[in-house]
Amino acid sequence: MRRFVLALALAVAATGLAQAQTPPAAPAPRPPALVVTSPAFEDGGVIPDKYTQKASPTAPSIPLNWVNTPAGTQSFVLLFHDVDVVSNRSMTDSLHWLAWNIPATATSLPEGLPNTPTLPDGTVQISHRNTHGYVGPGYPGPNYHHYIFQLIALDTKLDLPSTATREQVMQAVNGHILGKGVLVGRFHR
């Protein structure tokens, strides 16, 4: 009998120990996610006219800042698109800016980047209709369109020229994403 009681006590103690350990053993904390913001407007808010085609067909690009670059980042890609636009009944939307090979050391983009195929720091940029660089929002209707910035941290640089298409860039990006940050702006004229 005494042995049985001892075994029981040990079993209860072991169970208690297991229960005590299980819940506090939290998974390893994830590193903080990449966050992209703009001093020009709040996330989810309205993009000021200054950065849109309402002000000028060559409106300056929106300044951006980001934090929490993932370890191992080799370059960034920035995608800016109007998700509301339909083109030829297809699933594509309207590209307003796609820049790649943004240096891994960058933590911001200034306002008014030049609309050139390449920038001195090695960044390559395209836009819609064979243009290069930022094209401001311009939707003429009365309802808001959604202009989405996606900043993507890559474990590689992209070996693509400024004649590359959006599809080619996104295909090259696939499988190399270390982190991404999203910023949503809305606009109509």
Footprint of other proteins on this chain (CB under 8 A)?
Answer: 32-33, 35, 43-45, 83-84, 86, 88-91, 139-146, 148, 150, 155, 170, 173-182, 184, 186
Longest pairwise C-alpha distance within the chain: 92
The Cα–Cα gap between 187 and 164 comes to 28
Please, what is the minimum distance in Å from the beta carbon of residue 65 to other proteins?
Answer: 14
Least distance (Å) from other proteins to the CB of residue 170? 6
Cβ nearer to other proteins, comparing 21 with 174: 174
Residue nearer to other proteins on the CB measure, 68 or 118: 68
β pairing state of 94-103 and 75-82? antiparallel
Question: What's the closest the beta carbon of residue 165 comes to other proteins, in angstroms?
Answer: 15
Residue placing its CB nearer to other proteins in the complex, 58 or 92: 92
DSSP string, 91-148: S--EEEEEEEEEETT--EE-SS---SSB-TTS-EEE-STT--S-------SSSPEEEE
